[in-house]
Amino acid sequence: MLSWALLLAPLAVGITACGGSSSDPLADKPYDAAGQVALAGVEGGGKADPDKPLEVRAKGEDRITDVTATDAAGRYVRGELDADGSHWRSTVPLAAGAHYTVRVSTEDEDGAQGRRTVGFDTAPADNLLRVKFGPDSGTYGVGQPVTAELSRPVKDPAARAVVERALKVDSQPSVEGAWHWVDGRTLHYRPREYWPAHATVRVRSGLAGIKVGPGLHGGPSKPVTLRTGDRIEAITDAGSHYMTVLRNGKEIRSIPVTTGKPGFSTRNGVKVVLGRESFVRMQGTSIGIAEGSADSYDLPVHWATRVTWSGEYVHAAPWSTGSQGAANVSHGCTGMSTEAAHWFFDTVRVGDIVKVVNSGGEMMTPFDNGFGDWNLNWRAWREGSALHAGVREGSGPADAARLRPGM
């Protein structure tokens, strides 16, 4: 049996940073740090032992500045980085039959920034195809997608159709929705529009005992039940330097803010709250800013609401109150007064919507830096389904059936 309960924590530990923009050359093009770090037990192409911790070690005089390890659904593995940057070690067990991505940032003795990304699989417990739904049962914002992580990749279109038909999502009130294959192991489910406020969403699998492909049958899974709270939307206009917060369509507060300055512009588009941290230490080195440079920073940050995996937050920025409502001076985060950030922290929950408009930054990507699912239009979203791809808008169930693989 897979042991999922202890697997993941909502956020990575270690040094985090205010998310930079891909337009920053230091953040975009760090050198390959393959020679600077070693990952114990996950290199060489074999399956990693899930009973052993994930360990990353620096070589020579180099040091590790940041490590994030995520599963295929983007959930973080908790870990600890030594104070001298020589060693990072996971502090919770890995899951059997899972896929992980490890992103390591480094700094050599000359201060040059390196980056290494390694993907690996853990050894499966058996030959059954299991599914782990996310997030855990609980109450979330109306933007929270449902995730399904498979214990092994499924590439064949007919097998994907079998899997997708067996993954059931029912909501009250009922809304139109669809699964989207992010990759061979991961699916996301979202409605055409945001979930209704105060809805109940039940997610379950009917895969147990079903033949998925040659020598592969579905295994048991644990259902989850999600509930949504009020519809909370925070819309940040980087051009006017104000955030408007809505509850169920009505404005409840307008907040003067500052967003990313040129070279570090905040990403446009819809993001989903990933977590909340009352205190975060933010360092510029983790996004490629050389220590001692004009843009270098090392700050204690309070009331931080995370919206991207790379470190973009809505947070208290008392050092920039003179620019809030007037200019963009951050390294990518949305900064506001301490009082406003505390209020925002207490008002939102995981799954709530944070949308940025009129920024000079790029568009939030759909899947590789948080839940950017809502930045795909409905047609593009359905194209990622094994059951709906190629079905034109407005077509009926009979049309869909004719296009289903294996039908």
Determine the 3-state secondary structure of 42 from DSSP: coil
| CA atoms of 325 and 339, how far apart (whole Å) | 15
365 burial class (0-12, 13-18, 19+ CB within 10 angstroms)? middle
> Do residues 164 and 252 touch, judged by C-beta distance below 8 A?
no
> Do residues 41 and 27 touch, judged by C-beta distance below 8 A?
no
The whole-angstrom distance between residue 227's C-alpha and the CA centroid of its chain comes to 20
The residue annotated as part of the active site, out of 180, 241, 331, 333, is: 333
Q: Are strands 353-357 and 334-336 parallel, antiparallel or unpaired?
A: unpaired
Catalytic (active site) residue 302: no
| Cβ-based neighbours of 163, under 8 Å, separated by 6 or more | 129, 131, 150, 154, 187, 207, 212, 218, 386
Q: Answer whether the bond into residue 191 is a cis peptide, omega within 30°.
A: no
> Do residues 179 and 166 touch, judged by C-beta distance below 8 A?
no
The first and second tokens of residue 217, run together, are: 């049958």
Catalytic (active site) residue 99: no
The residue annotated as part of the active site, out of 99, 315, 331, 388, is: 315
The residues carrying an active-site annotation are 315, 333
